[in-house]
Amino acid sequence: MTDIENLSRILAIDYGTKRIGIALTDPLLTFAYPFETIQNNKSGWEQLKKIIEEKKISKIILGYPTREDGKDSYLIPEINKFKEKLIKNFKIEVILWDEIYTSKIAERKIIESVKKKKNRKDKGLIDSNAAAIMLQEYLDSK
């Protein structure tokens, strides 16, 4: 019988200039959950590297922000560079995924479920939940 924890997982990233929200799948690739939010800096990159190695990540879903008017977000060039860095450093498949409204949906879910008002605006919590929403959308499309 296969040890379930040795199965590979998929990781999703909600990319931001200050923070990176991270979500993971369960080992059977059936559901997504918020994992953590890291800082977008050198130590954050080291944390991401550790997560990718320890969780046996086989694929990364990278949020690609589209706007309602169809124009590119100001983040697109930075996200494309980040994608190339992921591919170069981890030799892993990176799929760009439309993340429109995921942060708004995450914020709404948090408001509904978090009791303390000050915790409802925790941007790190919003980022990792947005990544989980995006990852679940990806899983549901398969």
H or E segment to which residue 141 belongs: none
Ramachandran region, residue 8 (left: φ > 0; alpha: ψ -120 to 50; beta: rest): beta
User: Residue 1: pLDDT band by 50, 70, 90 thresholds?
Assistant: very low
Beta strands 32-39; 57-64: pairing state: unpaired
Which residues, 6+ apart, have CB-to-CB distance to 65 below 8 Å?
73, 75, 76, 79, 99, 100
What percent of the chain is modeled with pLDDT above 90?
62
Residue 95 in contact with residue 63, Cβ under 8 Å? no
The total number of structural domains that make up the chain: 1
Its domain, for residue 65, covers 4-140
Token digits of residue 75? 């983040």
What are the b/e assignments for 100-114, b being 16+ CB within 10 Å? eebbeebbeebeeee
pLDDT for 34-71, tens place per residue? 999 999 999 999 999 999 999 999 999 999 988 778 77
DSSP string, 63-119: EE-B-TTSPBPTTHHHHHHHHHHHHHHH--EEEEEE-TTHHHHHHHHHHHH--SHHH
CATH code at 62?
Answer: 3.30.420.140
Q: Which amino acid is at 40?
A: N
What pLDDT is attached to residue 119?
Answer: 54
pLDDT for 107-120, tens place per residue? 677 666 665 555 55
